[in-house]
Amino acid sequence: MPGRRAAVRRQAAWAAVLPFLLCPAATWAQDGSLELAIKATYLVKFAAFVEWPANMFETPSSPLTICLVGTPFSGVADQAAAGQAAGQHPLAVRHVAAATHGSGCHILFSAGAPGQSIAEALDAVRGEPVLTVTDLPAATPRKGIIDFVLQSGHVRFEIDDRAAAQEGLRISSQLLALAINVTPR
């Protein structure tokens, strides 16, 4: 029965995310809320293409935590992550007021919060194997390891593989191949 419930949850989560994947991205991007929904979905999907050091997990089936600081995603990320897993790690979304060192986050998305800017959030987890994700303008000097970019109406992303390597993360070549710009390690 627990297995059946998990399967139902997985199907429900997939059903929630599927429409976003099936609609043309160009159409989504015309609407700000849909664009955010895509980014939230992508944020969850990044987990499957990144390897963390084994010591970042207590057990092989410990959850992979996605922390959101000041997120505008309003629950879409929670829906997208429900019932999903990266390898053996079930995904868990945690909304936090501010990023802190040693908080147990594996992925951190910061949109800035009243008490903590995006740069401060990035600084807070520096030196930790945390995949930082941001959605900043191109000219911004400090960005996360992955930064969302809107290109021709499609949501795409840039990857700083060098920063990922410095933090002990290994990003899949498949994900790197999709990035519109990669900073090599």
Partner 1 sequence: MAAGGFLDRVWRLGPLLAGATAVLLLVTGVLIVYSGEESYRREKIDEVEVEARILASTVIAALTFDDRNAAQTYVGALDVNPEIEAAAVYDANGQPFAIYRRAEALSVPAPAPDLGSSYGDDRITVTTPVTQGVSLPLGRVYVRAVLEPLSRRYERYGVIALLVVMAGLVTAVLAIAQSTLSRSNRELSQANRRAGSADRRARKGGGGLAPGAKDGGDRPDDRPRRARFQQHPAGCPRQP
Q: How far is the CB of 10 from partner 1 (least distance, A)?
A: 7
User: Is 54 or 177 the residue whose CB approaches partner 1 more closely?
Assistant: 177
Residue 48 is a binding residue for partner 1 (CB under 8 A) = yes
- For partner 1, the binding residues in 94-153 under the rule CB under 8 A are none
Residue 101 burial (C-beta neighbours within 10 Å; 0-12, 13-18, 19+)? exposed
Residue 51 is a binding residue for partner 1 (CB under 8 A) = no
Q: Which residues of 9-40 are buried (b: 16+ CB within 10 A; e: fewer)?
A: eeeebeebbeebeeeebeebbeeeebbbbbbb
Q: Which helix (H) or strand (E) holds 151?
A: strand 146-151
Residue 92 is a binding residue for partner 1 (CB under 8 A) = no
Q: Which helix (H) or strand (E) holds 146?
A: strand 146-151
What Rg, from alpha-carbon coordinates, does the chain have?
Answer: 16
HSE, CB side, 13 Å, CA atoms: give it for residue 165.
Answer: 8
Residue 73 is a binding residue for partner 1 (CB under 8 A) = no
Q: How far is the CB of 103 from partner 1 (least distance, A)?
A: 26
User: Is 64 or 113 the residue whose CB approaches partner 1 more closely?
Assistant: 64
Residue 170 is a binding residue for partner 1 (CB under 8 A) = no
Closest by Cα among 108, 121, 102 to 56: 102
Residue 49 is a binding residue for partner 1 (CB under 8 A) = yes
Binding mask 20-39 for partner 1 (x = CB under 8 A): -xx--x------------x-
Residues making contact with partner 1 (CB under 8 A): 10, 14, 18, 21-22, 25, 38, 42, 45, 48-49, 84-87, 154, 156, 172, 174-175, 177-178
